[in-house]
Amino acid sequence: MSANLAIANLRKVFATGKPAVDDVSFTVEAGEIVVLLGPSGCGKTTTLRCVAGLEHPTDGTIHIGDTLVSAPARGLLVPPRARNVGMVFQSYAVWPHMTVRQNVAYPLKGRGLTSDEAARKVDGALDLVDLAQYADRPVVQLSGGQMQRVALARSMVYEPRLLLLDEPLSNLDAQLRLRLRDDLRRIIKAAGLTALYVTHDQLEAVVLGDRIGVMQNGKLLQMATPEQVYNRPADLFVASFTGASNFMAGKVKARDGEWGTVELAGGHTITAWFATGLAAGDAVTIAIRPENIRLEAAEAQNRYTVDVVSQRFQGVQTAYELQLGSTTIEALATGTTMRHPAGSSVTINIPPEICWAYPAA
């Protein structure tokens, strides 16, 4: 039976003395998929390993369902084997001398099941991951993506309370990664599992997660739905890590609720969504995604005429380098035709709701 996960004030300090996980708190509801997203070394894998019991937290508590599995202050640490969690690693970790069925059946040994009960569970897990037709094939004859499906079936076959996935797609080639990424959410949801998934890939996080937690330097910066993380990043790092690559310096002219006006270097003004704590006169950084800049814009707020510095054809889209006052920005336009040659001018629009102002770094 799937269970919820509750992490409170989790802290992990290694011998270096710097916290790898620093006061992290969040919950995962039963049946929910939460993705921890961030760059290498941000603490996401350490958090997952603490949940699994593979790392011993320095402080904080971890509950799986109603069971307290980790509380260092009380001297409590439930061993990994007693937590009833499934785990899928970057490597496939399959047993090469076994068939697909034997690999998936292995975790059921010693659980008091009859052979018929075990066979039903194995068949059900293989059906979920679309490998039933390969059940009796030696596992070494499978592709990398199929081997990762075997690892997934093996982690689900004993119906764990919680499924932990540590960058399970990172060792696959691009095409297999895309195919399995799209299937993973369906498989986890069909199994009714609670899942904590770790990745550094933003698209993986958006496709798979009900909610995304963005981490940096051991801190959890934002925990929200994919739409909220992408359209209301909590700070400049979250905006940058999830794809905002245009940054413009300015000063707040006025603020009205969550909206405000910023004077940019070069004299232009722009209306933007404001992060908390900004007031008139503050120095700010405006963050904008290239795909949110609209070319050939009609009358609207934040409408400017800019010069096209360069264009880079990318097949299904073109990247344009544009000069807005003293600032160079990049815009993406979909389509297989380059419409704005270098040296020309074009009118752009940057909608305020997808243009964000943060305290200057």
Nearest alpha-carbon partner for 248 in 316, 304, 190, 171: 304
With cut-offs at 50, 70 and 90, classify the pLDDT of residue 238: very high
DSSP assignment of 279-301 equals -TT-EEEEEE-GGGPEES--S-S
Tokens 């679309």: give the residue. Answer: 130
User: For position 103, what pLDDT does the model report?
Assistant: 94
For residue 144, the surrounding DSSP H or E stretch is: helix 144-156
Mean pLDDT computed over 86-115: 90
Contact 88/155 with Cβ under 8 angstroms? yes
Contact 94/151 with Cβ under 8 angstroms? yes
Mean pLDDT, the chain, integer: 93
User: For position 300, what pLDDT does the model report?
Assistant: 79
Largest CA distance in the chain: 77
3-state secondary structure of 11: strand
Contact 251/265 with Cβ under 8 angstroms? no
User: What's the rounded Cα separation, in Å, for the pair 11 and 40?
Assistant: 18
| Strands 195-199 and 162-166, sheet pairing | parallel
Residue 175 reports pLDDT greater than 90: no
| Domains of the chain and any CATH numbers | 5-236 (3.40.50.300), 245-359 (2.40.50.140)
Angle at Cα 352 formed by Cα 297 and Cα 342, nearest 5°?
Answer: 40
Give the type of residue at 3: A
pTM: 0.91
Could you report the per-residue pLDDT of 131-155, keeping only the tens digit for each? 999 999 999 999 888 999 999 999 9
More confident residue, 176 or 111: 111
Nearest alpha-carbon partner for 131 in 192, 183, 85: 183
Could you report the per-residue pLDDT of 274-324, keeping only the tens digit for each? 988 899 999 999 999 999 999 977 777 899 999 999 999 999 999 999 999
* Highest mean pLDDT (candidates 60-74, 82-96, 129-143, 168-182): 60-74
3-state secondary structure of 50: helix
Q: What contacts 154, CB < 8 A, 6 or more positions away? A: 94, 103, 104, 106, 107, 125
Mean pLDDT computed over 218-237: 96
Strand partners, 125: none
User: What's the rounded Cα separation, in Å, for the pair 11 and 100?
Assistant: 39
